[in-house]
Amino acid sequence: MMRYMPKTVIELLIKNMKSLLWSPQKGWRLEVTDIAVDQGKILDVGLGLSYVAHKELHFPNIVVLPGLIDSQVHFREPGYEHKEDLYSGSKAALLGGITTVFEMPNTNPPTITRQLLDDKFNRAKGRMFVNYAFYGGGTKDNASSICDMEDHPSCPGIKVFMGSSFGPMLIDQEEALSQILQRTQKPLTVHAEDETILQKNKSELNPNSVIQHPQWRSEESCLSATKRAVNLARQLNKRVHILHVTTAQEVEFLRQNRDIATFEVLPQHLTLYAPDCYHELGTLAQQNPPIRDKNHQEALWRAVNNGWVTTLGSDHAPHTLEEKKRPYPQSPSGIPGVQTLLPIMLDHVNHNRLSLERLVDLMTIGVIRVFNLKNKGIIRPGFDADFTLVDLNKMWTIDNKDMASKCRWTPFHGKRVKGAVFAVIIGGHLCYQEGEILTEPMGQPAYFSNTK
C-alpha cells in the first residue's frame, strides 16, 4: 500500500523505539516501531518510515507509552492558590509523566455554573503544562446549571460529593442527587461516602487520633453511598463513575453492576495500608475515603487484575504541611499525587503486581471508555501526539524536594522505586526530558465525543 508522503519536513519522528500500541483486534502489544508526528497529530505508525523530520528521537532502552491521563486532580484555583494553582499543579503533572488532567470542581468558588466553568478554562490558557478538562460540580440547588456545564465540549461531566470532604460541595439528600442525575448526559462522577453515617460515626467516636480515620469514614458509609448512587442510576437509566473505591464490599457490589457503573482506584490505596501508614505518616496519610487495612487493599488489587476497575487516578489533593499539622480531625484530608502516580505504579509493575499493559489501559482506554475522550490515549494515526516515555529499569528515590506541587511533600518521600519518567511529548512537542522542562506551558483543552 502506498503511504502518504508529505512534501514538507514533518515535525517529529520517533525512530525505532519500543512502543505500547493498541488495537481493538489485538489489544495491547509492545512493538519496536517508528512514529511520525506532524501538526500535533500522529501521522503514521510503522517500521521503516522514511519521513524527513525537524526532530528525530531514538532512545534504545526507553519505552514509548501513549500520553497518560489522570482523571482526578484538585489544582485548587481559584480560591486556594496557597495550596496549588493551575500552573504549579500542571507542572507537577508534566514531571510525573501525565499528559492530560481532569480537574475537580471543589475550588472557591466551587465550579457550579457555566460561567465559573468558563472562567477555569480562561485561567488555564497559556498557564498549563499539560492538556486539561474541568468537571462541573453538582450541589443541592444547581440542577438548572447541569446541562449548561455538561455542554462544554471540554467538560468530562459532573462531580458530586455524597459525603462532606474538602470544600462546601455536598449532596446528602436523595432528591437533590436525583435532580442532578436526571439531567446528566455524561457519566456522573461520585465521591461516595454517606454523610448521615459519617455524622453518626463522628458523634459516637469523637475521634482524636488519625488511626480512627477509617472507623469514622467507615466501610459501611462507602458501601451505602455507592449502593445509593448506583441504584438511583439504574432507576433513571444513567451512568455513574465511582471515584477512589476503598472497600472489598464496594468492589463486590460494583463488579455486579458493571453495566451502569464504572469505578476508579488510587495508587495510595494500592500501596499504603492501615494501621501502619497512620503510625508512619500521621495526618499526611489522612484522606477521604481513607486508606484501609491490607484485606481491602488485596480486594482492590484483585479488582485491578481482574479487569473490574476502569480508571486509575491520583486524586492529587494538596494541602500545606502547616495545614496537615493541625490536630486531628481539624487537619484537612487529602494527599498530593499527580507527580508520583506513575513512578509508584511502575514500581508495582516491576514487582509484578500488575502488567505495564494493564497500568496503561487504566490511564488511557479506561478513561476513553468512561468519558468518551476524543483522539487521545492511543498511538494511532489521527490521534493527538501525546506520549509518555518511561525508563522501566531506573532505580531512584522519591524526594519532597523534587515535588513541583506548591505543597512540596509526598507520602512517598524516601521511597526507593524502580521505574521513572524519562520524557514527555505533548501535542508533538518534547516538553520534558530527564529532569528538565523544555517548553513554556503548552497544554490545550481535551475534548469529549459525547458533547451535544
Task: Look up cell 437533590; give the residue.
Answer: 176
Task: CB nearer to ligand DOR: give 165 or 201.
Answer: 165
CB of 132 to ligand DOR, least distance (A): 17
Number of alpha carbons in the 13 Å side-chain half-sphere of residue 299: 17
CB closer to ligand DOR out of 97 and 318:
318
Q: Which is nearer to ligand DOR, 58 or 325 (CB)?
A: 325
Which residue among 315, 347, 361, 386 is the active-site one? 315
Q: Which residues bind ligand DOR (CB under 6 A)?
A: 74, 106, 165-166, 191, 287-288, 315, 317, 333-334
- Decide whether 145 or 333 has the Cβ nearer to ligand DOR: 333
Active site residue 70: no
The nearest distance, CB 335 to ligand DOR, in angstroms, is 7
CB 151 within 8 A of CB 452: yes
Per-residue cell: 249: 464490599
Please report the sign of the dihedral spanned by the C-alpha atoms of residue 345, residue 346, residue 348, residue 353.
positive
Least Å from the CB of residue 289 to ligand DOR: 7
User: In angstroms, what is the minimal distance from the CB of 388 to ligand DOR?
Assistant: 25
Nearest to ligand DOR of 172, 315 (CB atom): 315
Closest approach of Cβ 103 to ligand DOR, in Å?
Answer: 11
The CB-nearest residue to ligand DOR is 334
| Residue 113 CB, nearest approach to ligand DOR (Å) | 20
Catalytic residue numbers read: 315
